[in-house]
A and B are shown apart, each in its own frame.
Chain A
């Protein structure tokens, strides 16, 4: 089955700096890669996703890049703000019916003032 590894497990940045979280996956058939943000006491919320037919996608301060050859994808957050502090999860799936996600282990991001 699919295996997703995520690094780092914790990340501390100063407000205004950039944050980068990296994930690798094992199944070359995976073609859908979402990122979720989970705040304390809440469920994961989708913040951005990318499909394998594109290499990069951007939404305001958030961007995701995908390298299918190397089987890795990354989340980039620019101009970080305190409200970006949360746990971020990457995931991978083969898409299609059900879109069964395999999650990474999460990154605790702390944005310090």
Chain B
């Protein structure tokens, strides 16, 4: 089985630019999570979806962040406009109720905003 696939792996962008991170969950998984990892705050849950529907977005830091899941095999996390404090590693993860709810992470998207 292919794991959770994220793109881009690395992105450097200028402050004010729009950033779009992409994720393909494991086939058959019905939950998708977006996490952010920083030295200061560790791993934080931003938002998660069930069957493509956002269930809990209480971790989304502010209106500049948005996430969508148009179908079961694709999700995006968008930051517009980006700021230097958004620099972090963003992880997508997925799980399935039918498979013990183990959460599998992608390799992450390393974002640097200058």
Residues of A within 8 A of B65 (CB): none
* Of B48, B56, B95, B108, the contact of A43 (CB 8 Å cutoff): B108
Could you mark each residue 98-112 of chain B with 1 if its beta carbon is under 8 Å from any beta carbon of chain A, else 0? Answer: 000111111110000
- A13 contacts chain B at the CB level, 8 A cutoff: no
Q: A45 contacts the other chain (Cβ, under 8 Å)?
A: yes
Chain B residues near A46: list those with CB within 8 A. Answer: 102-104
Q: Mark A82-99, 1 if CB is under 8 A from B, else 0.
A: 000000010000011111
For A98, the chain B residues whose CB sits under 8 A away are: 31, 48, 50, 55-56, 95, 101
Given A43-B91, A44-B91, A89-B43, are A101 and B105 also a contact pair (CB < 8 Å)? no
Q: Is there contact, CB below 8 Å, between B43 and A103?
A: yes
**Residue on B nearest A44 in the bound complex, by CB:** B105
On whether the beta carbons of B101 and A95 are closer than 8 Å, the reply is: yes
Chain B, range 79-114, C-beta contacts under 8 Å to A: 91, 93, 95, 97, 101-108
Q: Smallest distance from the beta carbon of B11 to chain A beta carbons, Å?
A: 15
Provide the residues of chain B in CB contact with A96, threshold 8 Å. 101
B36, chain A: closest CB distance, angstroms: 11
Q: Report if B15 contacts A (CB, 8 A).
A: no
Q: Contact: A101 with B42, CB < 8 Å?
A: no
How close is B31's CB to chain A, nearest CB, in angstroms?
5
A45 to B93, CA, bound (A): 11
B residues apposed to A, CB below 8 Å: 4, 31, 33, 42-43, 45, 48, 50, 55-56, 91, 93, 95, 97, 101-108
- 8 A-B pairs with CB atoms under 8 Å apart are A32-B101, A44-B105, A46-B103, A98-B48, A98-B101, A99-B31, A99-B103, A101-B103
